[in-house]
Amino acid sequence: MGAAEDLELVADGAHLQRVVLDGMLKARISLEIATANFKAMSVPDGSAGNARSIVYFLRRLAEKGVEIRLLHGGTPSAAALKHLTRGLPRGMTVRRCPRVHAKAVIVDCRAMYLGSANLTGAGLGAKSDGRRNFEWGIWTTRTSLIDAVLDRFNDLWEGRQCGRCRLRDVCPVPLEEPCL
Q: Each residue of 58-112: pLDDT tens digit?
A: 999 999 999 999 999 888 888 888 777 777 788 999 888 888 999 999 999 999 9
Residues 6+ apart with CB under 8 A from 170: 98
**Torsion over CA: 139, 143, 144, 148 (sign):** positive
Taking the model in full, what pTM does it have? 0.89
**Torsion over CA: 18, 117, 107, 26 (sign):** negative
Specify the DSSP element, H or E, that contains 55: helix 54-63
Q: Domains of the chain: which residue ranges?
A: 7-164
Quote the CA–CA distance of 70 and 27 in Å, as a whole number: 14
C-alpha distance from residue 67 to each of 16, 17, 70, 77, 106 (Å): 21, 22, 10, 23, 12
pLDDT at 118 over 50: yes
- The mean pLDDT value of the chain amounts to 85
Given a contact cutoff of 8 angstroms between Cβ atoms, the answer to whether 30 and 62 are in contact is no
**Degrees, nearest 5: CA angle 130-123-173:** 145
Q: Provide CATH code, domain 7-164.
A: 3.30.870.10
